[in-house]
């Protein structure tokens, strides 16, 4: 479902087309070791995996050579957890272990610390929050790492590592098609609720059920309950909502109802932020209400529009409203996103997963989807830093990252806005994999051996046993060396930008 609903002359239309593991170090663990790249490891434990079928005496001999004591064995991995004598560096010991022809690999016992990556089942698809270049379910866009809002880094700054409060935050007003109040990812988030659907601006309090899906989707991006093992994560998980339903099941409404809704949200609804993923023509009454709402201290945020040109859409084009354009997972402005002189900031707006009525989830496109990302960042900033509307607006613009593809605007960044460290995109210059394949017993070079590194490519060794695979995209690959009369051997190889990674293989003759 990806229609772009275009506005009629005096109608308002919606702008849309329509578990991470974290392990704690055990009690008493120490991370005295460091590999020089910032990776900590246990001071006296090393992990040693043996080739399948390695007899027990051979394993014991390998450990004896390092004076190691097996603390635990993970049989399904042929992996021993070995405690080394005091003062022996596990990294150096691992290198020595790997010289043993029976050892598949040996590594230090790396320390893994909690980060604010929640366990919500669809979090891996929320590239707008944390983009690693991952494949997103239902998306055809090839993502680029760090083209996102740096949500995990921002959550760490705001909440502390691994903490995700679901209440107590800034109240965000959402003017849309309503909300599914009983959705598992939105339950008990709405603190005020009303609607106006007659075109007269007459408000009915206490009713805001979503019969479209758009409003529920927007709300989920702003503040879905996070780290609850289901669904999606919200940008501002501790935010609360004031919901005003001013658009019907078809996603359209009239200005009288919209104007009434804006006023209700910043007065009766108690919202400090009014998020509007909708648009229409310029109107004096709307202008006056926007000016009044801004003067009251509310931060107004709206979608720039999906005309794909410089069309001025309101309320976004009003001077008191922060206008939001879209980017995709590659960091590019999509074809539909408006770009005019009033656009101030960009945010993820293509292939965005969020909540929909009936405890369901959907992927939608549009500047409608970009707007709640900015509203969520604003809510976090107001809560964490105590900023007012003007300060929040200015901070989001000045701390944005990257290129929003329109008038040199930036992409909103949660970590930057909160004063935390901002992750930088990984460089993408190609690297290479090179090394030598030898006989594990005689150490003689093996010519004609094949080293296959999957999508990185493959190569055949020369007379000296050397091989090289060039123009390799930085990533981690599983490389397997094989040769006639020898057992194949595999290892994981990480290629860094512009660098050559050495991967040597010592093959054992077949018995």
Strand partners, 108: 46
Contact in structure between 321 and 315 (CB atoms under 8 Å): yes
User: What is the CA angle 455-457-462, rounded to 5?
Assistant: 160
Residue 295 has a pLDDT of: 96
Per-residue pLDDT of the chain (511 residues; tens, 9 = 90+): 333 332 222 345 576 654 222 222 232 333 445 544 445 688 888 889 999 999 999 999 999 999 999 998 888 788 898 999 999 998 999 999 999 999 999 988 865 433 445 677 888 899 999 988 888 888 888 888 889 999 999 999 999 878 899 999 999 999 999 999 999 999 999 999 999 998 888 899 999 999 999 999 999 999 999 999 999 999 999 999 999 999 988 888 888 788 889 999 999 999 999 999 998 888 877 888 899 999 999 999 999 999 899 989 999 999 999 999 999 999 999 999 999 999 999 999 999 999 999 999 999 999 999 999 999 999 999 999 999 999 999 999 999 999 999 989 999 999 999 998 665 554 557 889 999 999 988 999 999 999 999 888 999 999 999 999 998 888 888 999 999 999 999 999 988 888 899 999 999 998 7
- Tell me the three state secondary structure of residue 130: coil
All structural domains of the chain: 33-110 (3.30.70.80), 130-417 (3.40.50.200), 431-507 (2.60.40.1120)
Three-class secondary structure of residue 414 per DSSP: helix
Q: What angle do CA 101, 102, 104 make, to 5 degrees?
A: 95
For 2-44, the three-class secondary structure string (H helix, E strand, C coil) is CCECCCCCCCEEECCECCCCCCCCCCCCCCCEECCCCCEEEEE
Cis peptide before 383 (omega within 30 of 0): no
The neighbour count for residue 206, using CB atoms within 10 Å, is 8
> What's residue 9's pLDDT?
26
Position 200 scores a pLDDT of 81
pLDDT of residue 318: 96
**CA gyration radius for the chain?**
28
Give pLDDT, residue 65. Answer: 95
Strand partners, 12: 253
What are the residue numbers of the active site? 176, 214, 368
Closest CA to 31 of 17, 18, 45: 45
Output phi, psi for 274, to 5 deg: -115, 115
Looking at residue 172, its pLDDT comes to: 98
Q: What is the pLDDT of residue 27?
A: 29
For the four alpha carbons of 337, 342, 348 and 354, in that order, the dihedral sign comes to negative
């Amino acid at each position: 479902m990806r229609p772009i609903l275009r506005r009629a002359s005096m109608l308002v239309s919606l702008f849309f087309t329509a578990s991470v593991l974290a392990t704690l170090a055990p009690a008493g663990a120490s991370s005295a070791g460091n590999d020089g790249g910032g990776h900590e490891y246990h001071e006296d434990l090393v992990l040693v995996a043996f080739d399948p079928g390695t007899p027990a005496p051979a394993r014991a001999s390998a450990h004896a050579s390092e004076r190691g004591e097996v603390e635990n064995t993970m049989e399904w991995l042929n992996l021993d957890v070995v405690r080394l004598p005091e003062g022996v560096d596990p990294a150096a010991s691992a290198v020595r272990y790997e010289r043993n022809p029976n050892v598949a690999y040996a590594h230090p016992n790396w320390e893994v610390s909690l980060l604010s990556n929640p366990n919500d089942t669809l979090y891996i698809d929320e590239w707008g929050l944390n983009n690693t270049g991952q494949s997103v379910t239902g998306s055809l866009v090839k993502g680029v790492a760090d083209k996102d809002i740096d949500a995990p880094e921002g959550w760490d700054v705001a909440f502390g590592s691994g903490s995700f409060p679901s209440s107590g935050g800034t109240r965000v007003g959402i003017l849309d098609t309503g909300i599914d109040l009983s959705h598992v990812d939105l339950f008990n988030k709405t603190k005020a609720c009303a609607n106006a659907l007659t075109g007269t601006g007459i408000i009915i309090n206490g009713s805001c059920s979503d019969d479209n899906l758009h409003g529920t989707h927007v709300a989920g991006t702003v503040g879905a309950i996070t780290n609850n093992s289901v669904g999606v994560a919200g940008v501002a998980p501790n935010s609360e909502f004031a919901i005003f339903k001013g658009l019907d099941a078809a996603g359209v409404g009239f200005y009288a109802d919209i104007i009434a809704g804006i006023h209700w949200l910043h007065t009766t609804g108690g919202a400090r932020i009014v998020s509007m993923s909708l648009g229409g023509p310029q109107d004096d009454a709307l202008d006056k209400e926007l000016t009044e709402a801004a003067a009251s201290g509310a931060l107004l945020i709206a979608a720039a529009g999906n005309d794909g040109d410089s069309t001025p859409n309101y309320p976004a084009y009003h001077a008191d409203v922060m206008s939001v354009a879209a980017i995709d997972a590659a960091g590019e402005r999509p074809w539909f996103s408006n770009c005019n002189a009033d656009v101030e900031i960009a945010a993820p707006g293509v292939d965005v997963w969020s909540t929909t009525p009936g405890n369901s989830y959907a992927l939608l496109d549009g500047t409608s989807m970009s707007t709640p990302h900015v509203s969520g960042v604003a809510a976090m900033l107001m809560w964490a830093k105590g900023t007012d509307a003007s300060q929040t607006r200015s901070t989001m613009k000045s701390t944005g990252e990257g290129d929003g593809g329109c008038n040199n605007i930036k992409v909103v960044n949660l970590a930057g806005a909160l004063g935390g460290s901002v992750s930088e995109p990984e460089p993408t210059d190609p690297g290479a994999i090179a090394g030598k394949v030898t006989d594990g017993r005689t150490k003689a070079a093996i010519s004609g051996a094949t080293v296959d590194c999957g999508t990185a490519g493959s190569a055949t060794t020369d007379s000296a046993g050397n091989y090289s695979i060039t123009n390799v995209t930085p990533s981690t690959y599983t490389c397997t060396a094989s040769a006639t009369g020898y057992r194949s051997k595999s290892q994981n190889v990480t290629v860094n930008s512009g660098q050559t990674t050495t991967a040597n293989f010592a093959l054992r003759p077949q018995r």
